[in-house]
C-alpha cells in the first residue's frame, strides 16, 4: 500500500511565469515534453539552482527560456558543444540539453556523435517533430519519406536518421525514445536518463501540428500524438534490448522506452581521475 503521490510537483515552481503564455503553437508537443522534463527534475530532487539547461536554435531551443534555472540558449546545432564545456567545467551542475531534430541531427550531428562517444555526463533531450518549425517548415533529417514540407513540395525522398540507433551506435551510454502522449513514461525515461552517469540521449516524438501536421493531413494535435504512440512499440521498461509488444497484433516500427543502457566510463569522472593521477605522480 505504498502511497506515491504526484502532489508535490507543481510545475509552476519550475517556470518563469512572467514569460507566459509561451510562444509555442497550439498543440505543440514541445510543451508536453517540457513538463515531463521538469517533472523528472522534480522527482530527482535536483535544485533548480544547480540545473543548467543548454538549448540550441529552433522551436525546441526556445523552450529552455521558460525554465526557471540557469538557461543557456546558444547557437544553432551547438548546444552539445556548449554543454560539454559547461559540464566539464562544472561537474556539480546537472546539465540538460534541449535540442531539435534539425539542430541535433543536421547542423549538430557531428557534436551528437562525439558527445555520444565521449560519454560525458549530459542529458540530451531531442524534440523530434520531423520539421524545421521555426523557419517555416522545411524538411529535416527526420522528415519521413513522402512527407510534404516547404522544401519537399512534392514529398520527401531522402532517407531519415533513426536518431536513437545513431546515438547508440556512436556509443551513448543511455538511449531512449518516447512519445509525448505518454507523459509519465517520458518523465520516467528522462528521469532515468538524467540519473544515468554518462551521456544520455532521449528522443521525444513531438508533434508540429500547425506547420507539419496540417500540410501532411496528419490530423489535429490529439490525433497526432495518439498516432505517434501507436506507431511506437514499447521496449520493456528497464530492460536493455527488452522484448516488445507487437506480435501478433501490432504492425509498428520504432521502439520506445529505454533502448540502450550500458555503464561505460563517464568521461568527466574518468578525466578527473586521470588528472588527479597525473598530479599525484608529479608530487611524489
Partner 1 sequence: MNISSGEPQAPRAVKASSARPMTGNEAFARGAWEAGVKVGAAYPGTPSTEIMENLATYPASDLTAQWSTNEKVACDVAIGASFAGVRALTAMKHVGLNVASDALMSMTYIGANGGFVLIVCDDPGIHSSQNEQDSRYYSRLAMVPTLEPSDAQEALDYTKLAFDLSERFESPIMVRGTTRLCHTRSLVRVGERREDAPKGFVENPDRNVMMPSNARASHPRLLERERNFEEFLNDSNLIRWEPGDTKVGVISLSTPYTYVKEVIPEASVLKLGCSYPLPSQIIRDFAASVERLFVVEELEPLVENEVRAMGLTIDGKKFFPRVGELSPELVREGFVAAGVLEPEDEQPGFDVTDTPRPPVMCAGCPHISSYLSLRALDARVMGDIGCYTLAAVHPLRSIDTCVAMGSSIGNAIGLAKAGGERRPIVATIGDSTMLHSGIPALIDAVYNDVDITVILLDNQITAMTGGQNHAATGKTLRGDRVHRIDFVDLIKAIGVKWVRRVDSYDLSAMLKTFREATEYQGVAVVISDRPCVLDPVKIRGERMEVDAASCVACQACMNLGCPAIMWSDEWYDGHHKVRIDPDGCIGCSLCAQVCPTNSILAISN
Partner 2 sequence: MDMAQKVSAETAPGTTPGATPDTTNVLIVGVGGQGVIMVSRVMARIGQLQGFDVKQSEVHGMAKRGGVVFSHVRFGPTVWSPTIPRGKADILLALEWAEGLRWLNYLKKGSGTFIADTRHIVPPFACLDRTRGAKLGYLAEPPGVVLDQVADGYALDATALASALGNHRVSNTVLLGTLSVVIGFAPEIWQKAIAEMVPPRTVEVNLKAFEAGRRWAAAARENPESAREHTLRKPAVLPELEARDFELRITPEWCKGCDICVKMCPERCLSLNALNIVELTEPDRCTGCRICEWLCPDFAIDVIKTLPETASR
Partner 3 sequence: MPSQSTARDLQGNQACALGAVAAGCRFYAGYPITPSSEIAETMSVEMPRAGGVFVQMEDEIASLGAVLGASMGGAKAMTATSGPGFSLKQEHIGYGAGAEIPCVIVNVMRGGPSTGLPTRPSQGDIMQSRWGTHGDHSVIVLAPASVPEIFSETIRAFALSERLRLPVIVLYDEVIGHLVETVEIPAPGTVEVADRKWATGAAESFQPYAVTDDLVPPMARPGDGYRTHTTGLTHLESGFPTQEPECVERITRRISGKLVHHRELIESYEAAGCEDAEIVVCAIGISARAARRAVNAARAQGIKAGLFRPITLWPFPESAFKSATASARTIIVAELNAGQLVLEIERLCGGARQVESIARVDGEPIEPAEIEAKIRELSSHG
- Residue numbers of the site for partner 1 (CB under 8 A)? 1-7, 178, 181-185, 188, 219, 222-223, 226-227, 229-231, 234, 236-238, 242-251, 256-257
Q: List the single partner that 111 binds among partner 3, partner 1, partner 2, none, CB under 5 to 8 Å by kind.
A: partner 3
CA-based nearest residue to 14, from 40, 184, 61, 57: 40
Among 4, 7, 92, 248, binds partner 2 (CB under 8 A): 7
Among 82, 132, 161, 199, binds partner 3 (CB under 8 A): 82
20 binds partner 2 (CB under 8 A): yes
H/E stretch holding 34: helix 29-44
Q: Looking at beta carbons only, is 74 or 179 nearer to partner 1?
A: 179
The angle subtended at Cα 175 by Cα 86 and Cα 190, nearest 5°, is 70
Placement of cell 557531428 in the chain: 110
Placement of cell 551510454 in the chain: 173
Cis, peptide link before residue 21, omega less than 30° from 0: yes
Among 22, 76, 114, 215, binds partner 2 (CB under 8 A): 22
Tell me how far, at minimum, the Cβ of 170 lies from partner 2, in Å. 30
Check: CB of residue 188 under 8 Å from CB of residue 204: no
Residue 53 CA to residue 15 CA, distance in Å, equals 13
Among 92, 157, 249, 253, binds partner 3 (CB under 8 A): 92
CA-based nearest residue to 159, from 147, 170, 143, 148: 143
Residue 255 CA to residue 77 CA, distance in Å, equals 25
Would you tell me which residues interact with partner 3 (CB under 8 A)? 16, 19, 48-50, 52, 54, 64-65, 68-75, 78, 80-90, 92-93, 110-111, 113-114, 118, 271, 274-275, 278-279, 282
Would you tell me which residues interact with partner 2 (CB under 8 A)? 1, 3, 5-7, 10-12, 15, 20-22, 24-32, 35-36, 180-181, 183-184, 209, 220-223, 225
Amino acid at each position: 500500500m505504498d502511497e506515491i503521490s504526484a502532489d508535490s510537483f507543481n510545475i509552476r515552481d519550475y517556470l518563469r511565469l512572467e514569460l507566459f503564455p509561451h510562444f509555442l503553437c497550439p498543440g505543440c508537443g514541445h510543451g508536453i515534453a517540457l513538463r515531463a522534463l521538469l517533472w523528472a527534475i522534480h522527482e530527482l530532487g535536483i535544485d533548480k539552482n544547480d540545473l543548467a539547461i543548454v538549448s540550441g536554435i529552433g522551436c525546441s531551443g526556445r523552450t529552455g527560456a521558460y525554465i526557471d534555472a540557469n538557461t543557456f540558449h546558444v547557437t544553432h546545432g551547438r548546444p552539445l558543444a556548449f554543454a560539454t564545456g559547461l559540464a566539464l567545467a562544472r561537474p556539480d551542475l546537472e546539465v540538460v540539453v534541449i535540442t531539435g531534430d534539425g539542430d541535433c541531427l543536421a547542423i549538430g550531428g557531428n557534436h551528437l556523435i562525439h558527445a555520444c562517444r565521449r560519454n560525458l555526463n549530459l542529458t540530451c533531450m531531442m524534440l523530434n517533430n520531423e520539421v524545421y518549425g521555426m523557419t517555416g517548415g522545411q524538411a529535416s533529417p527526420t522528415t519521413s519519406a513522402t512527407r510534404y514540407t516547404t522544401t519537399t513540395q512534392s514529398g520527401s525522398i531522402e532517407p531519415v536518421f533513426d536518431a536513437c540507433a545513431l546515438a547508440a551506435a556512436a556509443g551513448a551510454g543511455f538511449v531512449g525514445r518516447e512519445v509525448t502522449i505518454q507523459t509519465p513514461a517520458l518523465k520516467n525515461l528522462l528521469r532515468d536518463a538524467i540519473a544515468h552517469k554518462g551521456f544520455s540521449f532521449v528522443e521525444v516524438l513531438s508533434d508540429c501540428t500547425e506547420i507539419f501536421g496540417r500540410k501532411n493531413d496528419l490530423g489535429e494535435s490529439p490525433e497526432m500524438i495518439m498516432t505517434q504512440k501507436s506507431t511506437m512499440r514499447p521496449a520493456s521498461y528497464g530492460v536493455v534490448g527488452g522484448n516488445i509488444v507487437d506480435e501478433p497484433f501490432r504492425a509498428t516500427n520504432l521502439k520506445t522506452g529505454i533502448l540502450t543502457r550500458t555503464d561505460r566510463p563517464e568521461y568527466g569522472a574518468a578525466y578527473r581521475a586521470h588528472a588527479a593521477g597525473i598530479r599525484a605522480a608529479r608530487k611524489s
